[in-house]
Structure 1
Amino acid sequence: MSVEFGKQLVVAETSIPGLLVVDMPVHGDSRGWFKENWQRQKMTDAGLPDFGPVQNNISFNDAVGTTRGIHAEPWDKFVSVATGRIFGAWVDLRDGPTFGTVFTTEIDPSRAVFVPRGVGNSYQTLEPDTAYTYLVNDHWSPDAAYAFLNLADPTANIPWPIPLAEAEISDKDKQHPALADAAPVAPRKILILGSNGQLGRALRAEYGDAPHVEYASRAELDVTSPDLDSARRWRDYGTIINAAAYTAVDTAETPEGRAAAWSANAAAPAALARIATRYGITLVHVSSDYVYDGTSETPYREDAAFSPLGVYGQSKAAGDLAVATTPRHYIIRTSWVIGDGNNFVRTMASLAQRGINPNVVKDQTGRLTFTADIARGIRHLLENEAEYGTYNLTGDGPAQTWADIAKNVYRLTGHDPSRVTGVSTTEYFSSVVGPIAQRPHNSTLDLSKILATDFIPQDSAISLAEWLVHQRGGDF
């Protein structure tokens, strides 16, 4: 058996997206040879994904011409040869524009191939006593979705070195369908939690009825349930977008509210982070400006130290810290959210329409964030595979006070903005009976990081005008 010694560890792309060829260092002498078949740090540094293998399989083949495949499974594989040599053929069976793309190469112990989920894998032995080995990042399951392709498919037109009529092929592999009849492998699913909330409804509008997107309200999947670990077949999901949260800021200051806030905003994200880590899922979690005390004289950057003033902010900060422990995460920090449901803008428009002249807080500063912008930003980060981490995402434009925004609502709905009176936070809550949470006075978030990903949040003043036009004629 010939083995090429002295290669450098090099990872190269192929014509199939995500399928990578790895040249591997093999060290040999008169006694034989040695190689590191999987070395996580070196290989991820070289460009392989950190795919988290959980099982190692070996297929030993006695004769030259043994041919197996073409099989596509719902997990990633790292295939290599321990002894012998093979001709490998891979066909993209994932649903999408590269469906049917073929790549072939020979593999000896000095070469390996990373095969992403949904790419059909096959090989033909070129030497006797060939040991074909593969690492996988999931366990076989009878409930998983598999795809197959006939080895002799004329569309794929794989140039087998040994004609298939002379090869050793199982009867089962001979019965696989042609490419025209092969069932594509769907992408791993996106699960959107809290789908009936303001942001959840915006995410429904953003993703629509895509077959790989699943929506769950609290009634359908309670993120605070102790049975969350077994609530879904989590290995089928690639992304979880957590739009579920406890947002009753003042009620969170009561004994019952405190428990509910910590359960939904801290314990539940921690449970989701554990699930995401175990199954290699990307976790998207929505955070809040309330993790800060609002004393900064400049907009808050993503790396600003937490200093929450009340229970709601404390529970959100704890959730952020938990989510940050999972390798694939996006924490979306936002503020002053407006969407389809009860919100400040709807309230002000209703007051204007009913002839009421409100007192509105003038010493809290920030930017409105419309849920459509948040949904669009989340999708942008995911589809562009932005670097994992925390991103501020609010409307753009000058920071304003609540009183400024209320006056704009009055003006845009054809009412006199002078009917709005600005008051301090202390004055506003002076007559309220019951617990009142402290509010940050500065909720303005720095947008430099998300702008660097080429996402452009809309100016919040423009969003406000468009939102009111959209609602006009409706019932505020």
Structure 2
Amino acid sequence: MSTELSVDPTDIPGLLVVRLPVHGDARGWFKENWQRAKMTALGLPDFGPVQNNMSFNASRGATRGIHTEPWDKFVSVATGRVFAAWVDMREGPSLGATFSIEIGPDVAVFVPRGVGNSYQALEDGTVYSYLVNDHFVAGRTYPALNLADETAAIAWPIPLESDEVEISEKDRANPRLADVTPMKPKKTLIVGARGQLGRALAAVFPEADLVDLGPADGDVQSLDVSSPEAVEAWPWSEYAVVLNAAAYTAVDQAETPEGRAIAWAANAVAPALLARAATEHRLTLVHVSSDYVFDGTSEIHTEDEPFSPLGVYGQSKAAGDIAVATTPRHYVVRTSWVIGEGRNFVLTMKSLAEQGVSPAVVDDQIGRLTFTTTLADAIAHLVGSEAPYGTYNVTSGGEPLSWQQVAAEVFAVAGRSREDVGATSTEDYFRDAAGSGKPISPRPLNSVLALDKLEATGFQPPAQLDALHAYLS
């Protein structure tokens, strides 16, 4: 028997063998069958079991399987010994891979979702236990494989044709591998799919399900993520990753009584509800944040800078960030000056340049543009590379610019002189807006976000001028 706890990989991706120390004396034995802290430290997924099942086999030779459940499980023996075999039934290159081992009190196996299980009792009165991370629902169907499948070629210690072996009629009727529909991986959900970032994410995650607040239309389903009832009713067990690109971004309108309520519902309540669902269903939640959670007094904003929002929009976004950080598997992606499809600052300046207009643009707000393609690519990188969970700044790279400098570059690309773009201060802009009676939100003067943490994961964002020229072309 093993004297030290260990976790070892197998030929099936994600299937892990756990060697359990068993301490015995004349009275019997004791083992720590499931020890979350020690086992996760050795590489076992923190899979969050919610149900414990026991299976009793009265006689040697009882054989069960091969069943492919839609949850993760941790299998161990309470008494006796079993021969256990697994077949990968997941869609992908490892489909059909097999692994088998004899399990006694000193061995347990972690079985990922989509890997078929089978067990043969080697002793009378065998009891094995399994923890699962989803509740059993009667009537749910999932793939099964015939115990005698030739491609799996499991070397049963007691031959299946033996008089000792007892197999249910249902298991005898299971199909061969060629006739099995492989289990698909859990899905990705894009929230806010009609927005400019949502559309960019859909291009990078083409298999994702799409939802938005409005009515269902084509591939986009309707989901009000600010409604507790709607979020509770959504089938989260079908998903692994949720990308929250939904937000209320009417910064000035958020300062009005009506806009304030909408901003808090979209930017704070909705992320909190998604975080609760992510925790309950062990989802990875990606949430997009904003430079507006800061007051702009720092020369460069790092991921761990304390919040200091100036207006309602920034306050509601900061509240959303705090809520999302409560779920274990989260990425808060903080960005600034987002440019994508549809109406935006760059296209407005391009239009003014083409119309012969010479605007005045603020020159004391400094930052970097972030194109939705860069933002979507960075999110895909963080999720795909399994970067450590937490907050990451994502913008274009290169030297920071003012809005006036960005506008001047747009004019130059459009064939106008950079000098045709005048300069004004944020203070004068506020004064003019106040005089017009329009609502106005304070802006952070410095929106430059540090990119060191993102770059350390292996993602290098393009320089903002290069990205701007590519966008305009």
Asked if these proteins are the same fold (TM beyond 0.5), I'd say yes
Question: Which deviates further from its counterpart, 30-39 or 220-229?
Answer: 220-229
| Counterpart-to-counterpart distance in 1, 2:103 and 2:73 | 15
User: TM-score, normalized by length of structure 2?
Assistant: 0.96
Q: 1:87: how far off?
A: 1.1
Give deviations 1:342-378, integer Å, cap 9, x for gaps.
Answer: 1110110111111111111100011000001111111
Secondary structure class of the residue paired with 2:408: helix
In the TM superposition, what are the counterparts of 1:52-451 in structure 2 within 5 Å?
A: 52-142=48-138, 144=140, 146-166=142-162, 167-208=165-206, 210=207, 213-219=208-214, 220-297=222-299, 299-432=300-433, 433-451=437-455
Q: Which amino acid aligns with 1:165?
A: E
Other-structure match for 1:472: none
Q: Which amino acid aligns with 1:454?
A: G
Secondary structure class of the residue paired with 2:90: coil
User: TM-score, normalized by length of structure 1?
Assistant: 0.95
Within the candidate set 6, 9, 14, 1:13 is matched to 9
Q: 1:158: how far off?
A: 1.0
Secondary structure class of the residue paired with 2:240: strand
Is 2:35 the counterpart of 1:33?
no
Secondary structure class of the residue paired with 1:148: coil
Question: Which deviates further from its counterpart, 407-416 or 388-397?
Answer: 407-416
Other-structure match for 1:22: 18
Q: 1:160: how far off?
A: 1.0
Give deviations 1:314-351, integer Å, cap 9, x for gaps.
Answer: 11001000000000000000000000111110110111
Query: Are the equivalent residues in 2 in contact too, given 1:12–1:21 (CA < 8 A)?
Result: yes
| Counterpart-to-counterpart distance in 2, 1:86 and 1:323 | 43
Query: Are the equivalent residues in 1 in contact too, given 2:232–2:277 (CA < 8 A)?
Result: no
Give deviations 1:388-425, integer Å, cap 9, x for gaps.
Answer: 00000111111000011001111112222211011111
Q: Which amino acid aligns with 2:458?
A: D
Query: Are the equivalent residues in 2 in contact too, given 1:145–1:185 (CA < 8 A)?
Result: no
Secondary structure class of the residue paired with 2:8: strand
Q: Which amino acid aligns with 2:459?
A: F
| Counterpart-to-counterpart distance in 2, 1:56 and 1:389 | 31
Query: Are the equivalent residues in 1 in contact too, given 2:47–2:72 (CA < 8 A)?
Result: yes
Q: 1:145: how far off?
A: 5.2
Secondary structure class of the residue paired with 1:331: strand
Give deviations 1:133-192, integer Å, cap 9, x for gaps.
Answer: 100010122575511111111111111111111121111111111111111111111110
Other-structure match for 2:219: none
| Counterpart-to-counterpart distance in 1, 2:118 and 2:139 | 22
Query: Are the equivalent residues in 1 in contact too, given 2:4–2:19 (CA < 8 A)?
Result: yes
| Counterpart-to-counterpart distance in 2, 1:55 and 1:245 | 36
Q: 1:434: how far off?
A: 2.4
Query: Are the equivalent residues in 1 in contact too, given 2:225–2:231 (CA < 8 A)?
Result: no
Q: Which amino acid aligns with 2:357?
A: I
| Counterpart-to-counterpart distance in 2, 1:435 and 1:264 | 19
| Counterpart-to-counterpart distance in 1, 2:105 and 2:179 | 35
Q: 1:302: how far off?
A: 0.4
| Counterpart-to-counterpart distance in 1, 2:432 and 2:51 | 64
| Counterpart-to-counterpart distance in 2, 1:73 and 1:250 | 50
| Counterpart-to-counterpart distance in 1, 2:312 and 2:55 | 57
| Counterpart-to-counterpart distance in 2, 1:144 and 1:293 | 52
Secondary structure class of the residue paired with 1:430: helix
Work out the percentage of aligned pairs sharing the same amino acid: 60
Query: Are the equivalent residues in 1 in contact too, given 2:54–2:129 (CA < 8 A)?
Result: yes
Is 2:442 the counterpart of 1:457?
no
Give deviations 1:109-128, integer Å, cap 9, x for gaps.
Answer: 10000000111111111111
Other-structure match for 1:474: none
Query: Are the equivalent residues in 2 in contact too, given 1:78–1:134 (CA < 8 A)?
Result: yes
Q: Which amino acid aligns with 1:7?
A: T
Q: Which amino acid aligns with 2:310?
A: L
Q: 1:229: how far off?
A: 3.3
Q: 1:7: how far off?
A: 2.0
| Counterpart-to-counterpart distance in 1, 2:10 and 2:375 | 35
| Counterpart-to-counterpart distance in 2, 1:351 and 1:228 | 43
Query: Are the equivalent residues in 2 in contact too, given 1:70–1:122 (CA < 8 A)?
Result: yes
Q: 1:71: how far off?
A: 0.8
List runs of 5+ in structure 1 lacking aligned partners: 470-476
Q: Which amino acid aligns with 2:188?
A: I
Query: Are the equivalent residues in 2 in contact too, given 1:348–1:409 (CA < 8 A)?
Result: yes
Secondary structure class of the residue paired with 2:357: coil
Give deviations 1:418-476, integer Å, cap 9, x for gaps.
Answer: 1101111112232222221111111010111111111111111111111111xxxxxxx
| Counterpart-to-counterpart distance in 1, 2:143 and 2:263 | 44
Q: Which amino acid aligns with 1:215?
A: L
Query: Are the equivalent residues in 1 in contact too, given 2:67–2:117 (CA < 8 A)?
Result: yes
Secondary structure class of the residue paired with 1:153: coil
